[in-house]
Structures are given as C-alpha cells and as structure tokens.
Structure 1
Amino acid sequence: MRALFRLIAAAAIALLACGLAMAEPLTLAIAKAVVVHDPAPGQAALNLKMTPDSARAFATFTTANVGKTIDLSVGGSVVMSPRLIEPILGGEVMISGRFAKGELRRLAERISAGKAKVTVDVKAQ
C-alpha cells in the first residue's frame, strides 16, 4: 500500500513539473460591469470591477502566471487572451477590442444580471 502511495505521489509531482496538471479556471465575482469610453483606442470598453475576495484571488492568479497568456471568458466564450506582463492587483479589468455594436453592453447586462460567469484560465499552449 505504501509503494502504491509513493507511485501516485511521484506521478502527481511529475505531472506538475511538466505542466500537465492544470488548475481549474478561476471564476470571478463581479461587483460592477459597465461600458465605458476607452480614450486610448477611442472606442468602447467593458470595465469589470471585482468583489474584494475576487480581486485578491485574481491578484494571486496573475502574480503566479506572469509571462503566460490567459483566457478571459464571459459565459463560456473567450473574449480576450492577453499575455500577462505584470500582476493585475487593482481588482479591475478592461475588455476592449473588436466587438459588434452593442455587444459590450449585452455582456455587461448579462454579467450584472448573474446570467454569465466571468472566468480566467491559463491558455492551453
């Protein structure tokens, strides 16, 4: 029995070392989702403000994954896949890019109504 335990432990360590054991996606609790004007590209953006607990969890997640690409999903659909340059510690994220007219507003409404989960996960390579 002890040998079996050692074999399982060794296999788990090997998987972790190889990066094959993936953590579950982190689900974020959003306190506020609002469409704002992003002055840099001159277009609309979706601002997501997290609850304090989610902000701390997200800070830990981004700190552990600097240099990696992450998928940010809303309702199970990836909306952006940025490469983390530095930890995101403020508890807010901005989603911008090429979206159909009204799409960001619809996302904000779905998130605010609790009809769409917001998750982050390390992008599979």
Structure 2
Amino acid sequence: MNSLVRLIAGTAMVLLACGLAVAEPLALAIATAAVVSDQASGQRALNLKMTPDSAKAFADFTKANVGKVVDLSVDGVVVASPRLVEPILGGEVMLSGSFAPGELQRLAERISAGGAKVTVEVKAEQPL
C-alpha cells in the first residue's frame, strides 16, 4: 500500500512539473459590480472590484499565469477569455468587448445580488 501512495504522489509531482495537472478554478469574491464607460475605448464595460482577500489571490494567480489565456466565468458560463499580458495587482478588472445589448447590465445585477459564482482559471487549450 505504501508503494501505491508513493506512486500516486510521484505521478502528481511529474504532472505538476510538466504543467499537465488541472488546477481548480479560483473563486473570486466580488465587492462591487457595475457597468461603466471605459475611458480608453469609450465602450460600456463591466467593472468588477474584488474583496481584499480575492484581490491578493487574483494577483498571485495573474503573476503565475502571464502570457496565458484565462477564462473568467459567471455561474459556470465563460464571459471573457483574455490573454494575461501582465499581472493584475489592483483587485479590479474591466470587461468590455462584444456583449449582447443589456448583457453587461444583467451580469452586474446578478453579481451584485450576491448569488453568482465568479471564477477564473487557465484555459485548458492555449491558442498559439
């Protein structure tokens, strides 16, 4: 039995070293969610401000995954898949782009109501 435990632990270490292990999604606690005007693009955007604990965990997550595509999901539905070009350290993200009319407002309301599960994880298949 002891050799089986060592085999499992050894296999897990090899998978982690190769980057093949699947990490659990990081759950984010959102303090506020609001639709705002993005100053840079002039588009409507969803602004998400995290709680201090989530901001720290998200900063660590983004530091470890610069250059990778990540999926941001609300209640299990991917709403954005950006490539991380630099760590996000301020505990705040802005989502803009091709959203259906009213979709950003619905997301903001659902997240603000407190029942939505917001998660981020490294996209399983990375585009070239």
TM-score after normalising by structure 2: 0.92
Partner of 2:97: 97
Unaligned runs of 5+ in 1: none
Q: Which runs of 4+ in 1 moved over 6 A?
A: none
Q: Partners in 2 of 1:30 and 1:9 — Cα distance?
A: 35
Partner of 1:71: 71
Q: Partners in 2 of 1:4 and 1:91 — Cα distance?
A: 42
**RMSD, aligned CA:** 1.2
Q: How many residues are aligned here?
A: 125
Unaligned runs of 5+ in 2: none
Partner of 1:4: 4
* 1:92 alignment partner AA: E
Shift of 1:12: 1.1
1:71-102 Cα shifts (integer Å, max 9, x gaps) = 01112111111111111000000010011111
Q: Partners in 2 of 1:98 and 1:65 — Cα distance?
A: 24
Is the deviation greater in 15-24 or in 45-54?
Answer: 15-24
TM-score after normalising by structure 1: 0.94
SS at match of 1:84: coil
* 1:75 alignment partner AA: D
Partner of 1:50: 50
Shift of 1:4: 2.4
Partner of 1:41: 41
Counterparts of residues 7-46 of structure 1 (less than 5 Å): 7-46=7-46
Shift of 1:31: 0.4
* 2:64 alignment partner AA: A
